[in-house]
A and B are shown apart, each in its own frame.
Chain A
Amino acid sequence: MKALLVEDDANKSAQVAEFLENQTTIDGLYEARSYNSAIRFLSVNPVDLVVLDMSLPLFDQSAEEDGFQDDAFGGMEVLAFARRRNLSTRFVVLTQFDTLGEGDMMIGIDELGSKLREEFGTIYLGIIYYSPAEASWREQLKRFLHDHSTNR
């Protein structure tokens, strides 16, 4: 299946991409670094699966692009876009935050998972906590890939 990795952190992106490229279930991997590049890609390229970071900048960061800050829930906007456009793509959220948001808006990863499930239903497959030092995210992601490729 074809997959899109949406991730703005270069190190995390490299690590996750390397993992995905070695999975037999993936036969095409694409990358996006922001909300904007993700929705532009999804608008014209159908993929089966998106591995999505939750905290994303609006545009790809560059020396000339400093207009908009990261949004702690930028990933949700990508999901909302896919739902609005009736895309059949499925999403796995891979975040390195065990809590997201600030102050009253702070939310734990499990609570966020429930919220995403409630709001996005079938297009949302699940959420995984990513830590570069731990291997558990690989196992969980592998399981999602396997389940999704089996259920397709």
Chain B
Amino acid sequence: MLSGADTLQAAIRHFAYPLDESFQDARRLLCFTGYLPIIDKFHLLRRVSCQTERFSTLEDYLRSGTPIKDREIHDLFNLCFPKERMLGASELTSVEKRLVELQNSIRSGDAATARELATTLSAQDPELFEALDIAISLDASGGEPPRASPLYDVIQTVKELTKGERSERASMGDLRKIAFKIPSRNLRYYLANRCYLSRDSRTMQAPAETFEIHGRFSYLLYESPAPSKERRELVVHYEALQEAYSKRPAILAAESWMEAGAVITALGFLAEATRLRFHKQTSDALAILNQIVSRVQFWNKLPPGTKITIRRALAELLLATGRVDEAISNAAEVLLGGGILDHVLGKNLIETVIRSIDQRLHSKTYSGILVACLGAPAKQIYPVFDNFLSAFNTDNVEVLIGNARCGVHFNEWLELVCILPVLARSPIYTSTIEAENARIRLCQHLIRVDHNVAKLTAEIAELTQKQLIRKGVANVRRSKIYVDESGIRRSSATTLREKFHQFVESKKTTGANALKLFDAAQLSLYLPNADGDLVPQRLETSAFEKDNVRILTHGHFLMFRSLFLEVRNQFVSSNNYGLDSYLSIRIRHGTLQGQLRSPFETHHLILQRLAPGHGYAESDYWPSRLGLDVLDGKRTELHFLFSQFSRDIDAEIVSVKDQMIHVSTEEKKRQGLFDYSYTDAELLAILDAKFDDVVNYDQFIDRTFLVLWQKTLGNLATVRATIESQTAPRLRETLSRLEVGLRGVFVGEGQELFQAVTRAYPALNNALDTVSDWFQPSSQATPEALEAAVIADVALASYRNIHPGRPFIDSITGEKSHLMHGRVCSPIYDVVAALIDNAFVHSRLSPESADVRVEFSFTQEKISFTVGSNVASGTSVADSVAIVKRAASRFMSASNESALISEGGTGLPKLLKILREDLSRAHIELDAHQEGARRIKVVVTIESEGLIL
């Protein structure tokens, strides 16, 4: 069986490797070692290739449940994705098990066991070609298969052919006869495949089932009028065969038949080198292979697959003789040529490069290319990258572009080594975005020089999209403190405008003519008392002149106060447009709780609340990690501590939500930190400073909003300070109490649990920083237009950031590349968040059990958001559907104003408010359906007009 992190990493890369039409990538399937004959793998490859339109990666294909007989692929898949089941796997037969055992012994370097197993197996069943191949490979001094076996006949025939003892035609005729005698269909394919590679095969009568292979491979041999693409595919396939099975006699024979002259000579050399190496004559073996490479004209005649085979053998020999530099360069050439390295060789080479502190070794492009191609993690590639740059006395890779001293394959080095996670470790970039931009510039350079254009263009698009999504998520995060100013202007224009004109008129009555009527001795001044209220006091005329006081009637002030406070009330309390409504939708309704619970949910430290009064649901996560069964007393104590912790955290969140994040005015006295109360003295000062020269209504409204935003800035600073000084310490203290409690229960054990607790501290700090960051005024800049898919991704990423403990599957369909107004990001997030929240909460399932699926669909006419989920067994799906339909019908016909500023319930009134007001949708369809036995689906559909550009 395969084991070890390296093999897994390699396997995961294979599974995630994209398929494409040219078979360039799918052919990797052939390189998996398995008990199936290579020809069966070829069929598998073809099946996969036929699916490329439906599946973009091998992983997708394997996950689709299409039966695959290869046990080893099945094992790899299970190792990579242990929670998944792949269909089609069956128990191995006893012979198959022994073949797997044989391969494992070869991989582990146990030649003695391998030889014994191979000999036994091939004697037991002469048709086990693989065993025979291995037996012969292991006995390079002339071991032969049993005389009664078909392989013996094959080898003998080939020997006669290569020694020139018989004509090619006669040899091929013999081989054909052998093929016909073999009863096994697979084996017949196997041999017939090779027979028909011969030039003389065009005259042969092939069995029906070999026609297809014959037909396809014949394109390789003759200058036939076959389409060039197909021919190219077959060449690629043939090279894959060579790479995967280079040392087997049957393949060598096939190669001999296929390639005249150079190849047969090269492979002869290679076989001789292999024999010498087997007999520990390494330097002689090396000398032979070096001869092949050093004869340039000869070398250039060899097909790529043969070159790869020879370079791989060279790499092995050079490493064994301590010539590390050359071993690495040959291995890198193998990888750049699309070949793969034997697992052990790859591992040894990567260790050699990574362990080396020799800067000179790292200053070669080959070193970086090798570690990058072999899939080393970025932290291991970075030192090699850094040393390369040091050799040129720079930290900045971009200055090396165009430097001829960088060596061969520098473009490949830029492509493969200077990947984002490596650049991100460089001291010259201070953020992810700087590193991303550097990578984009490198890709642009490589595209300019025509290097791997398609792949790098796709990479630039992906990075650019990531940046747009990140920017969008930041915009959504920074749009929580919002007031729909234009909505207020629109809705209150008539009443406010009238009042404004009265206010302007009242000022005119304080003109010079009116003053003549006053007796200064009888006049009073309104001055502030200790509470800031203006109270009349007798006028001292001497002070009057000294302070250069201007006269204003109290009536005019009262008019201003009334008008200003009316706008203020709309600003903070308008159900549709005011701050409190947005605080409710964007912070108080689930978002705050989700964000502050997230550091604990990520580490499974907080429990899911049951219905009110029923406490918290027991989680199985830590009991199962810690091996606590249901009767274990520690399990009870653990649940008790987690329940207490969850209760305390939730209580703190509720106090923030219900007390801090509310609006308070002189009329609505609350504990809320959004204090918009004004004393008369403050209002008089505002009137004097900001409104004295106001002459028209729009100017008045603009100035009022300005004053209110200035007040908001002060309130936001207070909220941030309170979070830092009160909420944060209380939450940390609660976590600390949990830790103390857990340490009392788990003494000298539970390291993983305590790691989780320790990680929760910085995670909590980050969550608090995020919450604090919400309390900034929204950006007034108009966001740029974005593709529909990006807007959907922004909404999904924003939700996942806030609720990392709620997994769901998403899909985006339709006309995804349509541009939409950037301003719709936040409202669309609000809609989707409300729908997903409902799915999780009303499914009455734990987040782990809930199967929530979110779909976005964009067309020129309609945009729809669909959220489906399963529901708990005790809940009636039909009733749930009816409840949603009833609520939708009720709120569609009449809006529920009070629900817009209070939390709890379905959030449907809020959702409809967002659609109607924030997205200006006149027609909204909201429907629910039952899906299958236990699923409910809620669909919201709106018109695209005005949203899509």
Tell me the A residues contacting B by CB distance below 8 Å: 8-12, 35-37, 39-40, 43, 55, 58-59, 61-68, 70-71, 73, 77, 80-81, 83-84, 96-100, 102, 104, 106, 108, 132-133
Contact = CB atoms under 8 A, between A and B. Distances in A.
> Which 8 A-B pairs give the minimum distances between C-beta atoms?
A67-B432, A99-B751, A63-B773, A9-B762, A40-B427, A39-B427, A43-B427, A96-B758
Given A35-B425, A80-B383, A61 B751 contact: no
Interface in B419-438: 421, 424-425, 427, 429-433, 435-436
A10 B390 CA distance: 34
9 contacts: A58-B425, A63-B773, A66-B473, A77-B379, A97-B754, A97-B758, A98-B754, A100-B755, A133-B736
B634 interface: no
B474 A59 contact: no
Given A61-B766, A62-B769, A64-B474, 11 more contacts: A10-B765, A36-B424, A61-B769, A63-B773, A67-B432, A67-B436, A80-B383, A98-B751, A99-B752, A100-B755, A104-B5
A55 B474 CA distance: 26
B382 interface: yes
Interface residues of B, number: 42
A102 B429 CA distance: 29
Given A77-B379, A77-B382, A84-B386, A59 B751 contact: no
A61 B761 CA distance: 14
Contact of B427 (A36, A73, A102, A132): A36
Contacts of B474: 63-64
A12 B758 CA distance: 11
Contacts of B473: 66
Interface of B: 5, 357, 379, 382-383, 386-387, 390, 395, 421, 424-425, 427, 429-433, 435-436, 470, 473-474, 477-478, 732, 736, 740, 751-752, 754-755, 758-759, 761-762, 765-766, 769-770, 773, 801
Nearest to A95: B758
B732 A11 contact: yes
A7 B755 CA distance: 17
Contacts of B478: 63
A140 B424 CA distance: 34
A59 B424 contact: yes
B464 to A, nearest CB: 14
A9 B761 CA distance: 8
Contacts of B386: 81, 84
Contacts of B477: 63
Contact of A40 (B421, B430, B433, B755): B430
B755 A97 contact: yes
A96 B382 CA distance: 27
Contacts of A77: 379, 382, 425
Nearest to A77: B379
B762 A106 contact: no
B803 to A, nearest CB: 15
Contacts of A106: 751-752
A11 B731 CA distance: 13
A106 B751 CA distance: 10
A59 B432 contact: yes
Name the residue among A35, A63, A70 with the largest chain B CB count within 10 angstroms: A63
A63 B751 contact: no
A63 B383 contact: no
Contacts of A65: 431-432
B171 to A, nearest CB: 53
B147 to A, nearest CB: 49
B440 to A, nearest CB: 14
Nearest to B729: A11
A7 to B, nearest CB: 10
Contacts of A108: 751
A132 B757 CA distance: 13
A70 B470 contact: no
Nearest to B801: A66
A30 to B, nearest CB: 15
Contact of A59 (B379, B430, B759): B430
B500 to A, nearest CB: 39
